[in-house]
Structure 1
Amino acid sequence: MATRAPSRAVPWLWLSVAAAVLAIAGSVVGLAWPRPYAGLTPAFWPQAIAQDIANLVVASPLVLVSAALALRGSARAYLLWLGALSFTVYNYVIYTFSIPFGPLFLLWVGVLALCTFALIGGLAEVDRTIAQRFAGPRLLTAVGWVLVVAGVLFALLWLSEDVSALLSGTRPASAAELALPTNPVHVLDLAFFLPAVIGIGVQVLRRRPYAVAVAPVPLVFLLLTGVPILITPAVQAANGLPAGWSVALPIGVFTLVVLGLLVWLLATLRRPRTA
């Protein structure tokens, strides 16, 4: 008998399929038509293009494939699906709140709404007994510490810029480059996603069943977060802009470490015992 995704999650899986189809359509339009991003600064525009490429090539296909496999009963795919949804929610908050109002606005709102409800519903249906089927206590310890350390380091990085700007009475440099009141990445990370990553990491170290069961979810989120960051310098270089290749090595190494842990963790998921 195979490990199975929760049957009550089926409506949420189908919601995410609709969201992924909309996201793919929006990314194709964003890449083919200059109007949606016409008002962005030279620093913001390459990031938006890189995000569309990441959505089109990695994130949305992962939502579709993992949802399809989860509908067929794969617990591993279900956990990957939740991670891809969390990344999609994160990015479409930025699309809807930070990119000037334009022709793709309602589509972005639709993707955000569908993925948010699917993520909430999907997390509520996680089978806590999955925690008992991950093999290797040392691996779980490594996963917990990676989540905690990554969350703390990113929080300190963002705070170093924000606190410095507060003390000097200026706007953070990253927000000024984007021509935004604040940096939306800092807001989302410091308010929601980094506390969640750190919290799950701490609870994994304590072997709390729900946290262990969802441990792959923040790993997928962190993994996917690295993809557009790695694509952005290539977009900058291809368009004759100064390319920030300096981030490629540290983010690339971090992404590979997270990918290795994710693959290793999911590979240890054993089948449930049958009577």
Structure 2
Amino acid sequence: MRERTERQNYFLYFTLPIVLLILICSGIGILKPDFYKRETADWLAQCVGQDFSNVFFIAPILLITSFLSAKGGRIAKIIWAGTMITNIYSYVLYSFDVHFNELFHFYCIILGLSVYSLLVFGAKQFRLDFKAWFEQKVPVKTVGVFLLVIAAAFYFLWLSQSLPAAVTGGVPASVVSGALPTNPVHALDYSFFLPLIVIAGVLLIRKKRLGYFLAPMMLVFTLITSVNIISLTLVTMVKSGANGLPLAGVFTVFSLVCLFFMVVYLRKIKKV
């Protein structure tokens, strides 16, 4: 299918209000010390850490890539989509697992706009021949296998926390520390995001058209998620005094590896 090159303003129509609301909500979470007073110390630190990531990382990326995507930039579209799916992940947590507060309705608006922006994007873009975006020598097997390794590593990590508790009738420590019914990160990853990473990796290895787009999109998702974890860890260290440097170090290295694979892959995109 021939790619349309005219300006695609729906990127801006969705993204600008999302970015504005993110800055307002996360700004309040950062500047108002007792805003998350109903959360446990662990969950409060994670909320504030996500707020910092939203303001200084997520919002700027969405804003910049929306303008470039509206002009037809291919790399910008991939980064925009990967960042938006990460934003959906975050605002599912805000909407369902943060105690009700004054910003609840704004969380829902951000979540809804993020979901519908991806649906519109899919309707307008996913029939394109993404394979034709790239040069012939694309490291499909290397990147595809890397995605499968990422999924396997997180499955192993999360199952090591939740499976023993399920077998023995106990409760994972992460659920106890957050005073939550279940671990929402486990639920989202088991049900949606880790399977999507696997699908992206398999489609890319098999050189399927959609895999050429999904794979870098999930690399972006993984990279930004890692940055989010680093932010949460640093805020937790400040608020609790716990030594989170080893964890932050591990995810810093992991982020750099993801960035390397992403750059190697995206540099193969042809100039329009």
Q: Deviations over 1:215-240 (max 9, x none)?
A: 21101100000112112332233234
Give distance in 2, aligned partners of 1:228 and 1:84.
12
Q: Deviation per CA, 1:85-140: give whole Å up to 9, x if none.
A: 00000000000111000011111111000001101221332253231232364622
Contact 1:36–1:103 (CA under 8 A) maintained in structure 2: no
The residue number in structure 1 matching 2:223 is 223
2-structure distance, mates of 1:120, 1:187: 22
Deviations 1:29-57 (A, max 9, x none): 11011343111111111111110011001
Superposed CA deviations along residues 133-191 of structure 1, whole A, max 9, x for unmatched, are 32364622111111111012101211121110011111111111110010000000000
Task: Describe the SS at the equivalent of 2:258.
Answer: helix
Aligned position for 1:250: 250
Are positions 1:153 and 2:148 aligned together? no
In structure 1, the partner of 2:213 is: 213
**Deviation at residue 4 of structure 1 after TM alignment:** 7.1
Match for 1:208: what amino acid? Answer: K
In 2: Cα distance, 1:100 partner to 1:150 partner: 31
Is the 2:151–2:194 contact (alpha carbons within 8 Å) kept by the matching residues of 1? yes
The runs of 5 or more residues in structure 1 that have no matched partner are none
Q: Compared with structure 1, are the counterparts of its residues 175 and 47 closer, same or farther at alpha carbon in structure 2 (3 Å cutoff)? A: same
Give the 3-state SS of the residue equivalent to 2:161 in structure 1. helix
Q: Distance in 2 between matches of 1:81 and 1:252?
A: 22
Question: CA distance change for structure 1 residues 38 and 4 in 2, over 3 Å: closer, same or farther?
Answer: farther
Name the SS of the counterpart of 2:35 in structure 1: helix
Deviation at residue 271 of structure 1 after TM alignment? 2.8
For 1:39, the equivalent position in structure 2 comes to 38
**Counterpart of 2:230 in structure 1: which amino acid?**
L
Q: CA RMSD in A?
A: 1.9
Q: What TM-score comes out, normalization by structure 1 length?
A: 0.92
Q: Would you say how many aligned residue pairs link Structure 1 and Structure 2?
A: 270
Question: What TM-score do you get using the length of structure 2 for normalisation?
Answer: 0.93
Kept in 1: contact 2:7–2:70 (CA 8 A) = no
Partners of 1:240 and 1:171 in 2: how far apart?
23
Q: Is the 8 A contact 2:86 2:224 kept in 1?
A: yes
Shift in Å, 1:6:
6.3
Q: 2:28 is matched with which residue? A: 29
Match of 1:132 in 2: 132
Tell whether the 8 Å contact from 1:6 to 1:126 is kept in structure 2 after alignment: no
8 A contact 1:230–1:248 mirrored in 2: yes
Instruction: Provide Cα deviations, 1:194-231, integer angstroms capped at 9, x if missing partner.
Output: 00011111110000001112321101100000112112
The answer on whether the counterparts of 2:49 and 2:235 sit within 8 Å (CA) in structure 1 is yes
Cα distance in structure 2, aligned partners of 1:146 and 1:91 = 24
1:79 alignment counterpart: 78
Q: Which moved more, 1:14-23 or 1:185-194?
A: 14-23
Does the Cα contact within 8 Å between 1:147 and 1:198 map onto a contact in 2?
yes
Alignment partners' CA distance in 1, 2:122 and 2:7: 11
What is the aligned partner in structure 2 of residue 109 from structure 1?
108
Check the 8 A contact 1:9/1:125 in 2, yes or no. no
CA–CA separation in structure 2 for the residues paired with 1:20 and 1:10: 15
State how 1:87-102 maps to structure 2 within 5 Å.
Answer: 87-102=86-101
Q: Unaligned stretches of 5+ in structure 2?
A: none
1:124 partner SS? helix
Q: Please say which of residues 239-248 and 179-188 is displaced more in the overlay.
A: 239-248
| Range moving further from structure 2, 46-55 or 29-38 | 29-38
Partner of 1:141: 141
The whole-number CA distance in structure 2 between the counterparts of 1:243 and 1:223 is 23
Aligned residues of 1:82 and 1:123 also touching (Cα < 8 A)? no
Q: Write the letter of the residue equivalent to 2:247.
A: V
Percent identity at matched positions? 30
Structure 1 position 7, deviation (Å): 5.3
Select between 27-36 and 131-140 the one with higher mean Cα deviation: 131-140
Contact 1:6 1:125 in 2 (8 A): no
Q: What one-letter code is carried by the residue in structure 2 that aligns with 1:23?
A: I
